[in-house]
Amino acid sequence: MAEPKSSPLTPELYAYVLAHNPPLEPALTDLADRTRARFPEAAGMLSAPEQATLLAFLVRLTRAKHVVEVGTFTGFATLAMARALPADGTLVACDISEEWTAYGREAWAQAGVADRIELRIAPALETLRAMPAAPHIDLVYLDADKAGYIGYWEELVPRLRPGGLLVADNVLYHGAVTDPAATGPALAIREFNDHVLQDARMEAVLLTVADGVTLARKR
């Protein structure tokens, strides 16, 4: 078995990593702080700061103009990606909570990117199935209910343009994916990871960023 080469991520090392990434814009920091204050029990659903930076980087790297986000919460990652879009870019944000996304709406407006974001409050499968079937999506961020990941994947992959990128979060699920007795979300993520590995339409890498991130490119 290969030995891990990654360094143990101590608080000091994590602070060093963040200090050597582009700093979060004040609008993102403010939204994260307000989310933790208003929804302390759910704040773990916030994407990590380095993920927000990575997502914005990927939007610019791929020159994405049509982005889809499945799972918006309070719109932290949404804001990071929208800020990286060109002025004529569009981000479709899928969620089922008016309460959570209201915080995002406010932050997006304050940051001047609300015109780039189309928030769809409905079950995500319904939203995705209503989209054009032809490949048109440049980038996807998948960070929603884990049991739904395979279903979302199957709706999204045909709609990705060739070379389009799908980014999936929580693919290590706190390390529980290696537990043979895993149930619930951990089992769903393990099944999703196997599904991605076997999908010849995509090429993918699983990275140990935050709680695990898969980057999958449409062939």
Helix (H) or strand (E) holding 190: helix 184-197
Helix (H) or strand (E) holding 125: helix 124-129
Distance CA 98, CA 96 (A): 7
Inside any domain, residue 3:
no
pLDDT at position 185, please?
Answer: 97
Inside any domain, residue 16:
yes
pLDDT at position 4, please?
Answer: 86
Inside any domain, residue 90:
yes
Inside any domain, residue 5:
no
Which CATH number characterizes residue 82's domain? 3.40.50.150
In this structure, are strands 202-207 and 213-218 parallel, antiparallel, or unpaired?
antiparallel
Inside any domain, residue 118:
yes
pLDDT at position 7, please?
Answer: 87
pLDDT at position 2, please?
Answer: 83
Inside any domain, residue 4:
no
- Residue 20: both structure tokens together: 């050597």
Nearest to 68 by CA among 21, 135, 147: 135
Distance CA 202, CA 108 (A): 32
pLDDT at position 142, please?
Answer: 98
CA 206 and chain centroid, separation:
14
- Residue 173: both structure tokens together: 């699920």
Amino acid type, 93: A
Nearest to 35 by CA among 80, 76, 72, 83: 76
In terms of residue numbers, what domain contains 198? 11-218
Please tell me the total count of domains within the chain.
1
Q: What is the pTM of this model?
A: 0.96
Amino acid type, 109: A
pLDDT, tens digit only, all 219 positions of the chain: 788 888 889 999 999 999 999 999 999 999 999 999 999 999 999 999 999 999 999 999 999 999 999 999 999 999 999 999 999 999 999 999 999 999 999 999 999 999 999 999 999 999 999 999 999 999 999 999 999 999 999 999 999 999 999 999 999 999 999 999 999 999 999 999 999 999 999 999 999 999 999 999 999
DSSP structure string for 34-68: HHHHH-TTTGGGSPPHHHHHHHHHHHHHHT-SEEE
Inside any domain, residue 209:
yes
